[in-house]
Amino acid sequence: MAPNGAAQVDVARQALCRAGNIDPCTVDYIEAHATSTPLGDPVEIKAMAGVYGPVRSPENPCYLGSIKPNVGHLETAAGAINIVKTVLSVQRGIIPPQRLLENFNTNIDWDSSGLKVLREGKIWPENGVWRAAVCSHSYGGSVCHAIIEQAPPKPMHKSESRNKKPVTVTLSARQRDRLPIYAASLAHWLSAQGASENMITRRIAYDHRLSVEVSSHECAIRSLRSYATGNPNARTISNRVIRSAALKGVVWVFSGHGAQWPNMGQQLLLNLVFRNKLSEMEVMFLREAVFSTIEALQQGELGGLDKIQMLTYAVQIGLAFVLQAEGVAPQAVIGHSVGEILGAIYHLKKSLRSLVEGKNIVATIKSSPSTCVVSGIKGEFEEYLRQLKDQDAAVEHGFRVFLEASTHPIVSQSIKEILEARCLGEHATFGVMSFDEPSDRSIAQAISRLYTLGAHVDFSAQLGDGPWWNRLPNTLWIHKPYRKIPSFGPRPCVQLLAATHVSGLQL
State the pLDDT confidence band at 299, using cuts at 50, 70 and 90: confident
* Residue 214 pLDDT level (bands cut at 50, 70, 90): confident
**Spatial CB neighbours of 42, under 8 Å, sequence gap ≥ 6:** 105, 107, 108
* pLDDT number for residue 84: 95
Task: Give pLDDT tens digits for 83-139.
Answer: 999 999 998 888 999 888 878 888 888 888 999 998 888 888 877 889 999 999 887
> What mean pLDDT do residues 165-172 have?
81
Average pLDDT, the chain: 77
Predicted TM-score (pTM) of the model is 0.54
What are the pLDDT digits (tens) for 23-54? 999 999 999 998 778 888 899 999 999 999 99
234 three-state secondary structure: coil
Segment among 44-53, 209-218, 249-258, 475-484 with least mean pLDDT? 475-484
Please indicate whether residue 296 or residue 464 has the higher confidence score (pLDDT).
296
Q: pLDDT class for 200, splitting at 50, 70, 90?
A: low
Q: Give the pLDDT score at 180.
A: 92
- Residue 432: closest CA among 418, 419, 445: 445
Identify the pLDDT of residue 423.
72
- pLDDT class for 14, splitting at 50, 70, 90? very high
Mean pLDDT on 217-244:
88
pLDDT at 498: 43
Task: Name the most confidently modeled range: 260-264, 317-321, 365-369.
Answer: 317-321
400 vs 250: CA distance, rounded Å: 8
CB atoms inside a 10 Å sphere around CB 294:
16
Task: Choose between 362 and 205: higher pLDDT.
Answer: 205
Give pLDDT tens digits for 50-93.
Answer: 999 998 888 889 999 999 988 888 888 889 999 999 999 998 88
CA distance 29 to 63: 5
pLDDT at 147: 95
Q: What is the 3-state secondary structure (H, E, C) of 168-206?
A: EEEEEECCHHHHHHHHHHHHHHHHHCCCCCHHHHCCCCC
CA dist 415 and 375 (Å) reads 18
User: What value does the mean pLDDT take over residues 183-197?
Assistant: 73
What is the SS3 string spanning 24-57? HHHCCEEECCCCCCCCHHHHHHHHHHHHHCCCCC
Q: What structural domains does the chain harbor?
A: 3-147 (3.40.47.10), 165-238 (3.30.70.3290), 248-367+380-452 (3.40.366.10)
Per-residue pLDDT at 105: 84
pLDDT of 361 reads 44
Q: What is the pLDDT of residue 503?
A: 43
pLDDT confidence tier of residue 307, bands split at 50, 70 and 90: confident
pLDDT of res. 502: 42
CB within 8 Å of 172: residues ≥ 6 apart: 179, 203, 204, 205, 206, 207, 208, 209, 210
Instruction: Name the band, by pLDDT with cuts 50, 70 and 90, for residue 201.
Output: low
Partner residues linked to 334 by β-bridges: 253
**Residue pLDDT, tens place only, 325-348:** 888 988 888 776 664 554 455 444
Categorize the per-residue pLDDT at 248 as very low, low, confident or very high, splitting at 50, 70 and 90.
confident
